[in-house]
Amino acid sequence: MKRRLFAGAAAVITLAGDSRPRAGKAMSELGIVENGSVGVDERGEITWVGPDAHVPRQWRDEATIIDCRDRVLMPAFVDSHTHLVWGGDRNDELVARLRGADYEEILAEGGGILSSVRQTRALDDEALYQQSLERIARMRRCGTTTFEIKSGYGLDRATELRQLKVARALASEGGYRVKTTCLAAHAIPESARTDATTRAAWIDEICTSILPEVAAAALADFADVFCDRGAYTVEESRRVLRAAHALGMGIRIHANELGPTGGARLAAELGASSADHLLYLDDDDRRALREAGVVATLLPGTSLVLGKPYASGRALLDAGVPVAVATDCNPGSCPFENLAMVLALACFGNRLTPAEAICAATHNAAASLGLADMVGSLQPGRRADLLVLATRDVRDLVAHAASPLVEQVWQDGVRVA
């Protein structure tokens, strides 16, 4: 590969700085270089960023030039919360919910997550890989090059491991940038829903069998628990996440989505990398998250699809909590794949500004995955994962939500869409 020069962009959104998650005012400081250029070396690493007028002569002579006049250059999106490896679909439930059925009732009756569990278990490895590959390819066409992928549609040892292997294969065979998360504690398995002994045995199995096996095979970077009403209690979640931590995994938590159920406090107590959803928080919860350095991940697509309230992004920003935004891409509560559209929802629903939402869906999402020294900003030393937008003003991503503004997607200095 030759060196490349992305030349003369109306604006380069650099988000230059260190790799810690940003909070407060720092989230709106995008480090914009007007009439800027970005140089990428033969290995796909960014080595030069600055005003176009200062581009070294050598770059102009030797590099392949990508003309970015009247365009915005920005870091590619980082989707830090997805469940994108699953089988089948739940479009019948979508119609039922639009006719008035309730998500929690559907789950209680054995639908919802449990329906996806049945459909996922029924697929062989190859079919599961192919369905997931189609999805992740669409997501990258929308501008995302880095993905967190959770298991959680197995709810048994074998299928949880298979899901994580498929997620790893999307990286090793598919060429996608992926971090994986074991979410065996997603829903309570059907067999354990009415019997306390079976339920306790399932949690034992997660802690003493599934997580150790996942760790031994290096299948997951993180563990996650759905700590909420109708799912796992705080005590159960603490046990699972402590076991994961002891095995060297990072921690993420589905918290406070359906009620003020204590998940956010648990995230703070355990020093989680991310607490996600967060529809029901009070001032003490927000303070605890800030003091523990937990990234608050907003998933406004889920609020829209389920007709739930939006988490107060403004209150989190004002409290100094670093905020990320992700799709939650999953078969039921939010099958959205387009993070640019969800970023706009973070503005209209969670009341972030466009600049804050862009930081949330790039640098802060990367920081929550421990990848901010690699992606999420455009500065020397980072991978050349970047987007060319067909506009001169990055705020158009919000103003014209879901319009096809993402013109080019580059990963490691190679054009992938």
From the CB of 14, what's the least distance to Zn ion, in Å?
30
Of 160 and 328, nearer to Zn ion (C-beta) is: 328
Q: For the purposes of burial, counting CB atoms within 10 Å of the CB of 89, is it exposed (0-12), middle (13-18) or buried (19 or more)?
A: middle
Cα dihedral value 286, 288, 290, 295, nearest 10: -80
Q: Output the six-digit token pair for 187.
A: 């829903």
* Contact set for Zn ion, span 365-384 (CB under 5 A): none
Q: With CB under 5 A, what is the number of residues at the site for Zn ion?
A: 1
Residue 112 CB partners (closer than 8 Å, separation 6+): 90, 93, 103, 106, 187, 332
CA distances (Å), origin 347, targets 301, 307, 340, 401: 12, 17, 11, 10
From the CB of 326, what's the least distance to Zn ion, in Å?
9
Of 52 and 328, nearer to Zn ion (C-beta) is: 328
* Contact set for Zn ion, span 230-249 (CB under 5 A): none
Residue nearest to Zn ion (CB): 328
From the CB of 45, what's the least distance to Zn ion, in Å?
32
| Residue 269 φ then ψ, to 5° | -60, -40
Site string for Zn ion, 284-303 (x = CB under 5 A): --------------------
Of 328 and 385, nearer to Zn ion (C-beta) is: 328
Rounded distance between C-alpha atoms, residue 122 and residue 181, angstroms? 22
Of 328 and 356, nearer to Zn ion (C-beta) is: 328
Cβ-contact 330, 119 below 8 angstroms = no
Of 228 and 328, nearer to Zn ion (C-beta) is: 328
Sign of the alpha-carbon torsion through 383, 389, 392, 398: negative
Of 256 and 391, nearer to Zn ion (C-beta) is: 256
Residue 49 CB partners (closer than 8 Å, separation 6+): 12, 14, 16, 33, 36, 37, 38, 39, 378, 379, 380
Q: Output the six-digit token pair for 322.
A: 């670093």
From the CB of 28, what's the least distance to Zn ion, in Å?
27
From the CB of 190, what's the least distance to Zn ion, in Å?
20
> HSE of 384 in the Cβ direction (CA atoms, 13 Å)?
26
Q: Output the six-digit token pair for 51.
A: 């005003």
Site string for Zn ion, 313-352 (x = CB under 5 A): ---------------x------------------------
Cβ-contact 87, 127 below 8 angstroms = yes
The owner of tokens 């019948």 is 92
Of 285 and 328, nearer to Zn ion (C-beta) is: 328
From the CB of 252, what's the least distance to Zn ion, in Å?
9
Of 183 and 394, nearer to Zn ion (C-beta) is: 183
From the CB of 83, what's the least distance to Zn ion, in Å?
6
* Contact set for Zn ion, span 130-169 (CB under 5 A): none
From the CB of 323, what's the least distance to Zn ion, in Å?
16
Of 343 and 409, nearer to Zn ion (C-beta) is: 343
From the CB of 335, what's the least distance to Zn ion, in Å?
12
CA distances (Å), origin 128, targets 120, 121, 229: 7, 9, 30
Contact residues for Zn ion, defined by CB under 5 A? 328
